Structure 1
Amino acid sequence: MRITRVLGAALLMLGLAVSPAFADSTPSASPAEDGDAPTEAGTSFRTAAEFEQGQTATASASTGDYLYWSFPADALQRPTVRATVKLPEAAKSSSTWQLDVYDGLRRRQACQYGSQTRTAEAGAASVELSCTLRTVRAWSEQWADDPLPGTYYVRLTTTTLGTADLGLTFSTEVKAESEDMGGSAAVDGALSKPLVPGIAVTSQSEGAEDDESSSEAVLSSLEPDDGWASGWWSDRWVWTALGGVLAALAGIGGYALTRGSGRPRHVPPGA
């Protein structure tokens, strides 16, 4: 009975300790408001239109243009970018559309899966593209091209287009969402700063008397709702602690079962 009470108390305390960790690691179910989503796209990396994950950015442009957007992605997230292109009704030939995603260093990121390039036949009403990136890592080697926390750029354009259809007006919708991969994707390291263009460009007047005389150039102002992750904490620590506690409880239970009652055996007379 005593062993049972000890095991029950230990499991109860472990449950109370694990619950907050799981609550913190659960991604938010409420998407960002579409009311603040951009209705125009940029024409280069520097003018990329910013939008939050969960928002639907819209834009109208002419076929042949390059359209750019940007959104923030944090460690342990696996972003998926989707684009729906509503093709011009006057198109007379087929067209090939391509969706590219770049990180804060403007390195093109490979799609883990998805239809990154698709061809629309003449007369098609729309075409849908998607790109699911690899899981964003909190830290990586300098020579690697792993996705890292920071700003991600989306570029949409046509790669094959008939000359007669060049310049026709089309509209598009772009949306980015992420799946939280949890501690299984955690690494032992963290960037000192996320890869946000301009985050390290700071100028300040010497001997300034107030904060108004200082300025910070940040080309991308968006970040995750709960801030950038520190990179060292994940639910992997919870599972490690859980495994240690279960191993200790198993040892206690095994000892209780094998040590016997502790009383000397009855030895028959004359033995």
Structure 2
Amino acid sequence: MRVRRPWGVALLLLALAAAPAAADTSPSPSGDSSGDSSGDSSGGTETAAPTEAGTSFRSAAEIGAGVRATAQGSTGDYLYWSFPADATQRATVRASVRLPEEHAGQTWRIDVYDGLRRRQACQYGAQSRTAAAGAASVELACVLRTVRGWAEPWADDPLPGTYYIRLSAAGLPVADAGRAISAEVRVETADAGGAAAVDGALSEPLVPGIALRAPSDTTDDATDDTTDDTTDEGGSSEDAAPPVLAGTAPEDGWSSGRWTDRWLWTGAGGLLAALAGVWGHTLTRGRGRPGA
């Protein structure tokens, strides 16, 4: 009976180790594609879907995962949106452009940039598509690589932080310039789990305005010389704060470099190896004893 006891202990410990690991590898709620146009707060801090797009990186409209953003514009404009992406997440950007009733052939494309404004390549998807003359709309998609928690300075790997979407028309005929169009953009994220985790983490995510944050003591010293002038003109020094240009962040915060489920699987593997060694030792010891 003593030979069978390690098997019961092994099954119990394996069940305890595998249960949280299976829960961690489930898709992120922010990747749910069933959200409506009113907005889904599971992937970001914003609950309302924006109805306008920015015209540059600095004025990009912020959207969260699962939120369908809409915008009105003109052919020839650059339309910008931004969204957060954390480590081990794979983002899919989808765009739909409703074209004028009468138009010539047009080529539309979506480009995605990271927090350093480096253009990120799409793994697959129709990133660029040509709409035939008179087509009612054009659909675009871009599936990005999985975001890494850390990378070498020379690498162009996607890192945690803000990502920018740029929607534009390439090779636009002169006759179609300035025509009214409407666009819809949606970002979906899926969690790749511990399989995509790396041994490293950024000190701060690549979010606009992060370099403008300073310790409170240095900020107070730097503003001492200017507070008198601002208060005399009716300004309030108490309301002054370092500007932060990005307000969208994952609901659970930036989790780069935190605990991942791969440690649970590593521990479970080590435990099974130890139990296998105990079981093998028990078998060989039993065979070596005469009359056992």
When normalised by structure 2's length, the TM-score is: 0.84
Q: How much has 1:190 moved relative to structure 2?
A: 0.1
Q: In terms of mean alpha carbon deviation, does 109-118 or 31-40 score higher?
A: 31-40
1:205 maps to a residue whose letter is D
Which of 241, 244, 269 is the aligned partner of 1:215?
241
- Tell me which amino acid in the other structure corresponds to 2:7: L
1:253 aligns with 2:279: yes
Partner deviation per Cα, 1:121-164 (whole Å, 9 max, x = no partner) = 00111111111111100000111110000000000000011111
Identify the residue that residue 138 of structure 2 maps to in structure 1.
127
Residue matched to 1:65: 77
Which of 158, 167, 192 is residue 181 of structure 1 equivalent to? 192
Structure 2 stretches lacking a partner, 5+ long = 39-47, 225-236
- Partner Cα separation in structure 2 for residue 235 and residue 70 of structure 1: 29
SS at match of 1:141: coil
After superposition, give the CA deviation of every residue in 1:233-267 in whole Å (9 maximum; x if it has no partner).
211111111111111121122222222256436xx
The RMSD of aligned alpha carbons is: 2.2
Instruction: Show the 5 A alignment for 1:96-245.
Output: 96-202=107-213, 204-206=219-221, 212-245=238-271
Letter in 1 for 2:285: R
TM-superposed deviation, 1:22: 3.4
Per the TM alignment, residue 181 of structure 1 is displaced from its structure 2 partner at its CA by: 1.1
Shift in Å, 1:5: 2.6
1:46-87 residue CA offsets vs partner (Å, 9 max, x unmatched) = 000000011111111000000000000000011110101111
1: CA distance between counterparts of 2:257 and 2:135? Answer: 45
For 1:107, the aligned partner's letter is R
Aligned position for 2:43? none
Residue 89 of structure 1: aligned partner? 101
| 1:196-251 Cα shifts (integer Å, max 9, x gaps) | 0111203632399xx94551321111111111014142111111111111111211
Residue identity opposite 1:177 in structure 2: E
Higher helix share: 2
Instruction: Tell me if the contact between 1:189 and 1:232 (Cα under 8 Å) persists in the aligned partners.
Output: no
| Distance of 1:79 and 1:29 partners within structure 2 | 13
Aligned residues with identical type, % of pairs: 63
Report the more deviating stretch, 144-153 or 231-240: 231-240
Deviation at 1:176, TM superposition (A): 0.8
Q: Which has the larger radius of gyration?
A: 1
* Superposition deviation, residue 184 in structure 1: 1.4
Aligned-residue offset at 1:45: 0.1
The match for 1:74 among 80, 83, 86 is 86
SS in 2 for 1:179: strand
Q: Structure 1: state its 5+ residue gaps.
A: 266-271
Counterpart pick for 1:38 among 46, 50, 55 = 50
Relative contact order higher in (CA < 8 Å, ≥ 6 apart): 2
In the alignment, the residues of structure 1 paired with residue 240 and residue 256 of structure 2 have an alpha-carbon distance, to the nearest angstrom, of 27
Could you give the per-residue CA deviations for residues 151-185 of structure 1, whole angstroms, max 9, x where no partner exists?
Answer: 00000000011111111111111011122111111
Tell me by how many angstroms 1:25 deviates: 4.4
Distance 1:263 1:202, change over 3 A: closer
Match for 1:26: what amino acid?
Answer: S
| Mapped partners of 1:19, 1:127: distance in 2 | 44
